[in-house]
Copies of this chain bind each other. A is one copy, B any other.
């Protein structure tokens, strides 16, 4: 293709990307200031706010809590999502469209509504396990996303792969475990990664369900802002940004960007 005339398009793209990234740039910038105020552009350059954050135990504690929470809720979403996706992808049953719409609906209801609902449920059961009830809530929140992505990937798999496995002597379950699921592994890993991130970043449901004994990283940031707007907040945010971007790049390297974009 003669692409030499495409430069206006790429200029537009660069501007858009800059616009979308501006919040991240501002936070990263604000984290290296020498002053004691959350401001942009920063005054001078220093890493002292990073030192302060890494020195405070509360940040590492909440980080570990958030990672644990994200891992457990991702596992719940995966366990629950795989059979549901398989059933939807096979899907020569009536009402498939309606069922898909229902599966997607938790994705499209305000998380505040989910929070209220879960609060009602948990107040009935009276079980006092804040970590597990939040993990379960995040599982409910992220599973529709995983099901959506995995169903789309499974529908792309040539059905003759499953048939070939059966013809070669595999049982129905064996054909899925040994052939169909390995074929969609990249999509599954990408979907699991996103489920992890969705849980890791979630704030609203966490605020409602966690109770006084459980604090996630976004909750800690939220609480901190109420008291003081110190550049330490920006430093924490900067660390989070670098960690997620690194995660995306690693996944992209392993799976190829096409998988992730889809």
Residues of A within 8 A of B (CB): 1, 3, 5-6, 9-10, 12-13, 16-17, 19-24, 26-27, 30, 38-40, 80-81, 83-84, 86-88, 90, 92-93, 96-106, 108-114, 116-118, 120-121, 124, 140, 143-144, 148, 151-152, 155, 163, 172, 194, 197, 200-201, 203-204, 217-218, 221-222, 225, 233-234, 237, 240-241, 244-245, 247-249, 252-253, 257-258, 260-262
Contacts and interface: CB of A to CB of B under 8 A. Distances in A.
B201 A23 contact: no
A19 B111 contact: no
> Do most interface residues of chain A lie in helix, strand or loop, or is the interface mixed?
helix
B26 A117 contact: yes
Copies in the complex: 2
A113 B30 CA distance: 12
A235 to B, nearest CB: 11
Contacts of A38: 116, 120
Contacts of A152: 258, 261-262
B20 A106 contact: yes
Given A13-B88, A104-B248, A120 B80 contact: no
Given A101-B252, A117-B26, A20 B143 contact: yes
A144 to B, nearest CB: 6
B204 A203 contact: yes
Nearest to A216: B110
Contact of A101 (B22, B99, B248): B248
B203 A245 contact: no
A117 B3 contact: no
